[in-house]
């Protein structure tokens, strides 16, 4: 018989809500913390997240809370599903570090520090590395909530922690693999959003399927190039957190970052796009963090550079394409 756990999910966006629904469907005692009091009221009355995950009737085992401290109390597992730009702010409000295993679901990099989400959690809460994990993969929240077949990977330096999360999250519709490459998994999860914006720009300009495939492939080369500088493992790039998530985010219609690219290609200003978006496209801030850091460590990331210039310097998408296509010719190689 499958073991049941007491789990807190911190974050009432689409991803946090989907994971809470999955965990409750797995039979776990699940609490979902939401900041927005109005949303909390709706969740309690309708058992549906009408803002971020409309149309999904949430499992009856989920309890909802607006008190972050009580949500985390006496939990075997605490899962954080907070956008990276807000993560540190939410963590500042937590007075006592979690007692159980911590799972980071966020995908991005903090601009000021170039820290990954699990590193922000470790620094802010003092969580021991053996209790820290990161989960990432080709996982659209809506499809996870619909309990459609999905695979993902959980990373931890501690095998027991990874196996506990694997056991808790896995089901007949959600298959979890394990790895010890935390940095690689999180870096892939962050950088694929940059390539997804580029892919959306390519599709928005109607550059064709050849262009999209080429862009995804060379985007992977940039992920590998930066990842190897941080000691990421080669197999991570070829796995679910790497090429798996990259393909999904660059091609799927549910991708927020790809949608940003589509709109940028039509000439919309990034400010307009962000104001009209209910959910945060992490690639917008991630591209700034990666671009600025790549200059410091002298790593060549041409796609990242052009996406940055489109978003932050007002360069036209068409000019960015020209810049990429007219770069000096070279031999193809991967640092795998």
- For the stretch 58-104, pLDDT in tens is 999 999 999 999 999 999 999 999 999 999 999 999 999 999 999 99
Residues with a catalytic annotation lie at: 192
pTM given for the model: 0.95
> From the centroid of its chain, how far is CA 318?
28
Residue 120 has pLDDT above 80, yes or no: yes
Q: pLDDT confidence of 279, banded at 50, 70, 90?
A: confident
Please state, for a pLDDT cut of 70, what percent of the chain lies above it.
Answer: 99
Mean pLDDT taken over the chain: 96
Strand (E) or helix (H) holding 133: strand 132-136
Instruction: Find the mean pLDDT for residues 199-204.
Output: 98
Residue 212 has pLDDT above 90, yes or no: yes
Beta strand pairing call for 132-136 and 150-155: antiparallel
Query: Which tens digits make up the pLDDT trace of 3-31?
Result: 999 999 999 999 999 999 999 999 999 99
- pLDDT at position 335: 65
Angstrom CA distances, 60 to 5, 8, 14, 32, 48, stand at 16, 15, 17, 12, 11
Q: pLDDT confidence of 336, banded at 50, 70, 90?
A: low
Eight-state DSSP code of residue 31? E
Tokens of 284: 């917008």
Instruction: Find the mean pLDDT for residues 319-325.
Output: 98
In our burial notation (b when 16+ CB lie closer than 10 A, e otherwise), range 270-290 reads: beebeeeeeebbbbbbbbbbb
Query: Which tens digits make up the pLDDT trace of 303-313?
Result: 999 999 999 99
Please state, for a pLDDT cut of 90, what percent of the chain lies above it.
Answer: 95
- pLDDT at position 1: 66
Eight-state DSSP code of residue 177? E
Q: pLDDT confidence of 334, banded at 50, 70, 90?
A: low
Go through the domains of the chain in sequence order and give each one's CATH number. Answer: 6-180 (3.40.50.720), 189-325 (1.10.1040.10)
């Amino acid at each position: 018989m499958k073991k049941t756990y007491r789990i807190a999910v911190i974050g009432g966006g689409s991803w946090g809500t989907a994971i809470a629904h999955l965990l409750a469907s797995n039979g776990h005692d699940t609490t979902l913390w939401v900041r927005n009091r109005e949303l909390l009221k709706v969740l309690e009355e309708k058992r549906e997240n009408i803002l971020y995950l409309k149309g999904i009737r949430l499992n009856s085992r989920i309890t909802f809370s607006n008190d972050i401290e009580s949500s985390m109390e006496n939990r075997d597992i605490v899962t954080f599903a907070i956008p990276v730009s807000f993560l540190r702010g939410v963590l500042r409000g937590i007075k006592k570090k979690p007692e159980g295993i911590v799972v980071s679901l966020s995908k991005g990099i903090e601009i000021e520090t170039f820290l990954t989400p699990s590193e922000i959690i470790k620094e802010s809460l003092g969580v021991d590395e053996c209790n820290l994990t990161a989960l990432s993969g080709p996982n659209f929240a809506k499809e996870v909530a619909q309990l459609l077949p999905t695979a993902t990977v959980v990373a931890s330096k501690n095998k027991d922690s990874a196996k506990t999360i694997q056991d808790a999250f896995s089901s007949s519709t959600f298959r979890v693999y394990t790895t010890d490459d935390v940095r690689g998994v999180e870096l892939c999860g962050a950088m694929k959003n940059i390539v997804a914006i580029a892919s959306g720009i390519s599709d928005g300009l109607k550059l064709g399927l050849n262009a999209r495939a080429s862009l995804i492939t060379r985007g992977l080369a940039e992920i590998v190039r930066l990842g190897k500088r941080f000691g990421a493992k080669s197999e991570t790039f070829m796995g679910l957190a790497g090429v798996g998530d990259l393909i999904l985010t660059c091609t799927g219609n549910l991708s927020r970052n790809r949608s940003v690219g589509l709109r940028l290609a039509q000439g919309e200003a990034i400010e307009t796009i962000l104001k009209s978006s209910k959910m945060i496209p992490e690639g917008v801030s991630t591209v700034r963090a990666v671009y600025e850091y790549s200059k410091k460590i002298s790593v060549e990331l041409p796609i990242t550079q052009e996406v940055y210039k489109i978003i932050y310097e007002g360069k036209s998408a068409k000019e960015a394409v020209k810049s990429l296509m007219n770069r000096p010719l070279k031999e193809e190689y991967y640092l795998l």
